[in-house]
Chains A and B, each alone.
Chain A
Amino acid sequence: EVQLLESGGGLVQPGGSLRLSCAASGFTFSSYAMSWVRQAPGKGLEWVSTVSGSGQTTYYADSVKGRFTISRDNSKNTVSLQMHGLRVEDTDVYYCARRSTGGGYGDLPDYWGQGTLVTVSS
């Protein structure tokens, strides 16, 4: 059974930093790209970032480019999202999602974690 467990969310001041992590199990982790997708409370979904299965290729939404960094540790079956320069509008539930292939482009998120809430407020 595919399981994804996010952690690291919390309250942070504008301009601050936070690191989210996602622990994966139930599948061959290095064979699949991974993504972060976020959702403002009561709002729609926004793709944030994707890392390929090897970790060598990354993609970012324009809204986070230059502020967020996605990475993965295939020895520990974890994917992380380092967030800097956080803004009030980054307040969202952040979901970790497995993608359907190892490449991460042209494929889709097929399994999702339960999410972790990030609140950016002074």
Chain B
Amino acid sequence: EVVLTQSPDFQSVTPKEKVTITCRASQSIGTSLHWYQQKPHQSPQLLIKYASQSFSGVPSRFSGSGSGTDFTLTIDSLEAEDAATYYCHQSRNLGTFGQGTKLEIK
């Protein structure tokens, strides 16, 4: 099983700040890595697919990079509405999720 480890688990950030969340896979998964945003009491929403492809309708401040075992989600100029938990997900081997990174807006 591919284990995904996200860092940090929690981050308190101010609006307009640049945020970086990392996801490390226990084995190489190419670019089969995707990012989701889950706001409180809502279902997950796809942000980035295949490491760096933006999903339809996602604001341009969200971007992804990486391949192999190390991946990054970047949020440029954070907005208050970005308060959420972010999950990475790999689809190379059926599917596992990272443990999540909770972003709190100061």
Contacts of B43 in A (CB 8 A): 95, 112-115
Segment 1-51 of B: residues with Cβ below 8 Å from A: 32, 34, 36, 42-46, 49
- Whether A88 sits at the interface, judged by CB under 8 Å, is no
Q: Size range of the interface on A? A: 20 to 34
Q: A106-B32, A108-B91 are in contact. Are A44 and B97 (CB under 8 A)?
A: yes
| Min C-beta distance of A118 to chain B, whole Å | 15
- Whether B96 sits at the interface, judged by CB under 8 Å, is yes
Is B87 touching A45 in the complex (CB atoms < 8 A)? yes
A-B contact count (CB 8 A): 49
Segment 34-80 of B: residues with Cβ below 8 Å from A: 34, 36, 42-46, 49, 55
Whole-angstrom distance between the alpha carbons of A46 and B96 in the complex?
Answer: 7
Whole-angstrom distance between the alpha carbons of A114 and B45 in the complex?
Answer: 11
| Min C-beta distance of A116 to chain B, whole Å | 11
Q: Which residue of chain A has its CB nearest to the CB of B1?
A: A62
B interface residues (Cβ-Cβ under 8 A, vs A): 32, 34, 36, 42-46, 49, 55, 87, 89, 91-92, 94-100
